[in-house]
Amino acid sequence: MPTRLLRSPLSALRLWLLVALALCAFAQAALAGSAELEQGIALIKTNKYDQVEEGVTLVASSRDPRAVGLLAALQDSDLYLRKADGRLFIATRSDAGYDLIDPLTQAPAGTAGKRDLKRIRINNRLRSQLRTAVATLNLTHPEASVRLAAVNEMLDRLDADSLALLRDLAGDEKNAEVRAGMTAAIALADLNADEPARRIEALDQLEGNLHPAVQGGIQRLLDREQDEAVRATAERVLEGLQFKRDLYGFAETLFFGLSLGSVLVLAAIGLAITFGVMGVINMAHGELIMLGAYTTYIVQQLMPEHIGLALFLAIPAAFVVSGAVGILIERGVIRFLYGRPLETLLATFGISLILQQLVRTLISPQNVPVANPDWMSGSWQINSVLSLTMNRMYIIAFCLIVFTALYLVMRRTSLGLQVRAVSQNRAMARAMGVRSARVDALTFGLGSGIAGVAGVALSQLTNVGPNLGQSYIIDSFMVVVFGGVGNLWGTLVAGMSLGVVNKILEPWAGAVLAKILVLIFIILFIQKRPRGLFPQKGRAAEG
Amino acid sequence: MRLGTLHLDRGGQIFLALLALTTLLVPILNLAVPADSPLHVSTFTVTLLGKYLTYALLAIAVDLVWGYLGILSLGHGAFFALGGYAMGMYLMRQIGDRGVYGNPELPDFMVFLNWQELPWFWHGFDMFWFAALMVMLVPGALAFVFGWLAFRSRVTGVYLSIITQALTYALMLAFFRNEMGFGGNNGLTDFKDLLGFDLQSDATRIGLFIASALAVAGGYLACRTIVTSKLGRVTVAIRDAESRTRFIGYRVERFKLWVFTFSAVLAGIAGALYVPQVGIINPGEFSPINSIEIVVWVAIGGRATLYGAVLGALLVNYGKTYLTGVMPDAWLFALGGLFVLVTLLLPQGIAGLLRRKEATA
Amino acid sequence: MTKTKRFASASALAAALSFGITALANAADTIKVGILHSLSGTMAISETTLKDTMLMLIDEQNKKGGLLGKQLEAVVVDPASNWPLFAEKARELIEKDKVAAVFGCWTSVSRKSVLPVFEELNGLLFYPVQYEGEESSKNVFYTGAAPNQQAIPAVDYLMDDLEVKRWVLAGTDYVYPRTTNKILEAYLKSKGVAEEDIMINYTPFGHSDWQSIVSEIKKFGSAGKKTAVVSTINGDANVPFYKELGNQGLSSEDIPVVAFSVGEEELSGIDTKPLVGHLAAWNYFMSVDTPENEAFIDTWHGFIKNDDRVTNDPMEAHYIGFNLWTQAVEKAGSTDTDKVVEAIIGLETPNLTGGKAVMLKNHHITKPVLIGEIQDDGQFAVVWETDAEVPGDAWSDFLPGSKDIVADWTPPISCGNYNSVTKKCSGQNY
């Protein structure tokens, strides 16, 4: 039925609707709903913001179960008009163009080319209207999790209609969590009740509920409340909420700090090898990170269909690319400079300029887009106050994995043993048969490769462009020096603690001042412990 | 000053002679020779040369601490910039009511950010003598405090280098903040005149050029005096074997502190001369990359020769000016390549090459 | 454009520098146009595109027979995102290369740095980027938006159409955001917004860790009133900012962000799916459907040999500036600065959005204001626009220091900062 309707021209449709309405008086209730739906759809097809808005209101008030799919598609900007016949479809991009789905029946409806379709445009006003509409419709969704999301959504924008609906539904709700949400919404409304007792009851029900709407609601109640008993209860509840909030706020700051720390550690850990263990003041370290990030970009370009897989493949690829460039730098330049550590600074500074310009020339002076796989986006919602972003959690985990791997290489493999031997006493190591030239090249390659791996991680957080390395090089040196040159643990502890300190300072000092304070702290700390947090012991440390 | 200041310093003698010659010739060729003559030196070139000379003075200051004292300062740009800011503040105050808002008291950037009155640290900068004092005092005091802390606790080597870098980085971030009252990212600009002389006139530019040349010559002679004196021999001893010098009984910290402070003052003076010639000072001068570049100039010219530092500063900066014009898309390749090649092939820098030639000749 | 010629003149310059001899002025068979955009350093990301745009425009003009019967010749230099170097390069372009006009600069500080040079040497600068206003120089033409052509209309839109009651003014700590936010704060207060409903936040350049700030914005926005972020965050810092917004689940319906420095170019570096619905205010969008724009995009794709490259607002500004300049030169019959400055005022040229750009007496131009929502393909869909072009206002009416100041470069005033109360024109450099 409705599909045939949709084919007819607009004026005829309206006429038909009127006729249908008049005729079928016995099925009035049901038909009124579907009539609203049809009328709404007709308005949506006009593709003009104000008319679409009216249309959405009509579709939503039809309470037709089929409306959800339609509105959700519109909300996601997936609703299209087929130019040829003026029908609406949900379209998703595919190889052939677009796959079409009927928005009401959700049945596949063939394919179409890009030029055959016109997207129904929406703006922010519509988006927020759609959200409420979809939430309202979803209150009766068979899945509890969807219902819960819908209730939470509605807490923010309660009105008389939605409240009446919630009161209706709350009694029949089977799922405890959803019911609690609905009760909270009703309680929130009851804060405006006339009898003080009901207000107190509502407050008791809201105790411990961290949803932001609750705090706002109680705050507004306090602003106008006259009754002492109600005031006292409200203040008590609010205090409890505030305490919980502070607690979670602190946890959040700690998380922010650790994730910033992980970024610092990742950026610095390669340098902890090249600078810390080998003593090369590697100013091109930032550019090796940048190369890793660009490798991620290129791997993604090679396999645009598998962003997530590309990211995993980029890790070894970046290690190889940056590592190879590192070995090249070591063999071509640095090996002539051992024993003159300060001069490595000059040569590597020159190399960093060349690498930057190379990327500008070969790829582009602009930033390049690196896509985030879906599992990297979004956050893990612990409660209304505390949510941990997924990408940051992956970064923290990744940082720890990289650190552990590197630590094992340095401690448990023969390469690690040789590296440590050469760095402690080159002449003695050679006398014992260590091929120091080979070890040097491999060590520098290892440090550079790790820098490349860090680049893969950073590509998920920030811009990938020719200046990427520049923004991390100073911080990396600070971390390594603060932790103590030549000590991997030092780098880990230093990075993490600088991250946390920075984030604790940031809310009250501001981002810039926090960073300045951290720098001053490092300067003063070095006065106290001139060799960093974990100084290298023994004679090797002198000179 | 003993006779020995320039004795046995062929490079220094040649450098000073060349400097004197340029300082004499350039003003004549600029002011007296008509503009269409092929011998005319344009004001553009004069300003450029003046700027290079201030860089040269800065390089001398770095060479003094790096070449003769073994302190690789990655933060000398900070002293340079502080001197520049002190001069910039004086120049800002000289604008008076000729700013776009016509406010006699406040610089323009304070007017449009709604500052009501001049911050306390801006007072006094309307007097040249005070500003000139601050040009030396502020970098000197910072270097003194920093050095006192660092040398006393025996922070050495890369640790020292990195915390000097932290110092200039922290200052850069601080000066970027608009609340600081130094004009934030835009810095100080739109200067009108210096000691009553119009900054845009050719004569003033020549004056500044000559002043820079004199400062470089003075700085060179002063540093030369230091390194040839007994003090200089102690500093070299500290550079080569710090512990041993200490065991012999020298108060290593004091020597380091005074030479470091002196070097910072020189850098401050260079900054003060730099600002009126380029017409702007902003927090970018504090950037750690700038300080690294200064070290690169010294390395390319040749450490521990002083005149080598001058040579390096002139050469790299001329290269930059030239290459950014000729090959705007590829000049970084050339500059980066130059750094690598010089480090690999000329460990003693260009001065080393000259000396080697001299030795074989 | 001939590379060899550029090289030859540059080598002449080098020779002049080395031997202290003035370069013999090139025979006057071409008109030189200076391009002063950073090709390396932090600003290269944005500015290289503008260099290419200028090369394209010059190329097109030469195909049409050049100007005054002569070919145009581009002189490209790289000021390397280094502000003192901008001043030096500007001097080089005017004094050594004798360019007729310079198109360039992006950041305010680079403009401030070259300004005294242009005034001293009486050069011509066309500045293509939206900026904080509070300036009008005899030698500079501002083809980007002044605050009243971008910020204030955007805030009006949020207030009227989205009923925003609570405001976060977030910016990078430099002069453009500072001034814009001062103006907006005064404007919002004049509209009855309370002090506690405005949150101002500044971050350093290239800020990459936005966790705390986004979380703060989230808290600020959960007070039950509709909240919006007005972002003057500078180019590079935007990507991590938007990523963090997306990850912390702040969608455009909850807290819309309207940005003044995010255009097609910036978005081409990010996956825009999580950003759909956030806003930007500009005077041009690539998605605007007009024949002029289509032709411009086609020419651009042909010139840059890449169909994926986007166009953006500052490119349109250069397009307008260049056309106004060529018209003025033709009208004046000369590239002489004084004649061009006189001829250009009042000239008009079609812009790319179907309207006209007129050069005003204060050296700013008229521009339409468009507000666009970010789409998932990295383009903007226009959701609101002004009925007519808005004339650029050099001196904001909402700042106490500048409300009495007007810019008018025609006689009898002929001043960029004429105080209508004291009847004075202070601090001119020419």
Residue C353 has a pLDDT of 92
Residue C397, domain member (yes or no): no
pLDDT band at A42 (very low <50, low <70, confident <90, very high): confident
Residue C253: pLDDT above 50?
Answer: yes
Residue B45's H or E segment, with its range, is helix B43-67
CA atoms within 13 A on the CB side of A72: 16
Residue C86: pLDDT above 50?
Answer: yes
Residue C332 has a pLDDT of 93
Chain B residue with the nearest C-alpha to that of A348 = B340
Residue A131: pLDDT above 90?
Answer: no
The pLDDT tens digits of the residues spanning C396-422 come to 888 877 888 888 888 888 888 888 888
State both tokens at A308: 């997530």
Chain A residue with the nearest C-alpha to that of B338 = A350
Report CB contact under 8 Å: C416, B322: no
Choose among B157, B330, B340: nearest Cβ to A351: B340
Report CB contact under 8 Å: B169, A474: yes
Q: C209 CB near a chain A CB, below 8 Å?
A: yes
Q: Are the C-beta atoms of A312 and B265 separated by less than 8 Å? A: no
Residue C428 has a pLDDT of 59
Instruction: Return the minimum-mean-pLDDT range out of A23-37, A106-120, A226-240, C5-19.
Output: C5-19
Closest by Cα among B350, A325, B186 to C132 = B186
Residue A456: pLDDT above 50?
Answer: yes
CATH code where residue C35 lies: 3.40.50.2300
Q: C236 CB near a chain B CB, below 8 Å?
A: no
Q: A414 CB near a chain C CB, below 8 Å?
A: no
Chain B residue with the nearest C-alpha to that of A275 = B158
* Residue from C22, C107, C232 to probe the interface with B (highest B Cβ count within 10 Å): C22
Q: Is residue C155 located within the same domain as residue C170? A: yes
- Min Cα distance B164 → chain A (Å) is 8
Report CB contact under 8 Å: B280, C89: no
pLDDT band at B52 (very low <50, low <70, confident <90, very high): very high
Tell me the backbone φ, ψ of residue A77, rounded to 5 degrees: 60, 30
Report CB contact under 8 Å: B186, C399: no
Cβ count near C377 (within 10 Å): 12
Q: In whole angstroms, what is the distance from residue A215 CA to residue A219 CA? A: 6
Q: Are the C-beta atoms of A492 and A358 separated by less than 8 Å? A: no
State both tokens at A434: 């260590």
Q: Are the C-beta atoms of A430 and A440 separated by less than 8 Å? A: no
Q: What percent of chain A has pLDDT over 90?
A: 22
Residue C427 has a pLDDT of 62
Choose from A314-323, A363-372, A428-437, C17-26 the range with maximum mean pLDDT.
A314-323
Partners of C201 on chain A (C-beta within 8 Å) are 510
Residue B208: pLDDT above 50?
Answer: yes
Q: How far is CA A224 from CA A230, A235, A507, A516, C197, in A?
A: 11, 13, 31, 44, 19
Q: Are the C-beta atoms of A130 and A55 separated by less than 8 Å? A: no
Residue A512: pLDDT above 80?
Answer: yes
Closest by Cα among B225, B324, B163, B330 to C13 = B324
Q: Is residue C170 located within the same domain as residue C284? A: yes
Q: Nearest-5° angle of CA A448, CA A451, CA A455? A: 140
What is the pLDDT averaged over residues A145-164? 76
The pLDDT tens digits of the residues spanning B254-271 come to 888 999 999 999 999 999
Report CB contact under 8 Å: A369, C271: yes
Choose among C40, C208, C247: nearest Cβ to A379: C247
Residue B113 has a pLDDT of 76
- Mean per-residue pLDDT over chain A, rounded: 82
What is the pLDDT averaged over residues A333-340? 82
Residue C74, domain member (yes or no): yes
**pTM for this prediction:** 0.85
Q: Is residue C307 located within the same domain as residue C243? A: no
Tell me the backbone φ, ψ of residue A463, rounded to 5 degrees: -65, 140
pLDDT band at B6 (very low <50, low <70, confident <90, very high): low
| Per-domain residue ranges of chain B | 3-288
- Min Cα distance B114 → chain A (Å) is 21
Q: Is residue C274 located within the same domain as residue C361? A: no
Report CB contact under 8 Å: A378, C247: yes
Choose from A465-469, B123-127, C354-358 the range with maximum mean pLDDT.
C354-358
Residue B235 has a pLDDT of 85
Q: Which residues is B280 bridged to in the sheet?
A: B189
Instruction: Return the minimum-mean-pLDDT range out of A197-206, A491-500, B6-15, B327-336.
Output: B6-15
Residue C15 per-residue DSSP state: H
Closest by Cα among C358, C424, C397 to C141 = C358
The pLDDT tens digits of the residues spanning C20-56 come to 333 333 445 899 999 999 988 778 888 999 999 999 9
CB-based contacts of B128: which residues, under 8 Å, 6+ apart? Answer: B90, B195
Q: In whole angstroms, what is the distance from residue C76 CA to residue C16 CA? A: 19
Residue A286: pLDDT above 90?
Answer: yes
Q: Is residue C218 located within the same domain as residue C96? A: no
Choose among C21, C117, C424: nearest Cβ to B38: C21
With contact defined as 3+ CB pairs under 8 Å, the chains touching A are B, C
- Min Cα distance C92 → chain B (Å) is 7
In terms of phi and psi (left: phi > 0; alpha: psi -120 to 50; beta: otherwise), the region of C258 is: beta
Q: How far is CA C308 from the centre of its chain?
A: 23
Total structural domains within chain C = 2
How would you classify the pairing of strands C125-127 and C140-142? parallel
Exposed, middle or buried by CB within 10 Å (0-12, 13-18, 19+), for A507?
Answer: middle
- Min Cα distance C292 → chain B (Å) is 31
CB-based contacts of C180: which residues, under 8 Å, 6+ apart? Answer: C132, C147, C151, C171, C232, C260
- Sign of the torsion angle spanned by Cα atoms A213, A215, A218, A220: negative
Domain range for C94 is: 3-145+291-366
B residues 217-276 lying closer than 8 A (beta carbon) to C:
none
Report CB contact under 8 Å: C224, A220: yes
Q: Is residue C68 located within the same domain as residue C141? A: yes
The pLDDT tens digits of the residues spanning C178-205 come to 888 988 998 999 999 998 899 998 888 8
Residue C426, domain member (yes or no): no
Report CB contact under 8 Å: C83, B44: no
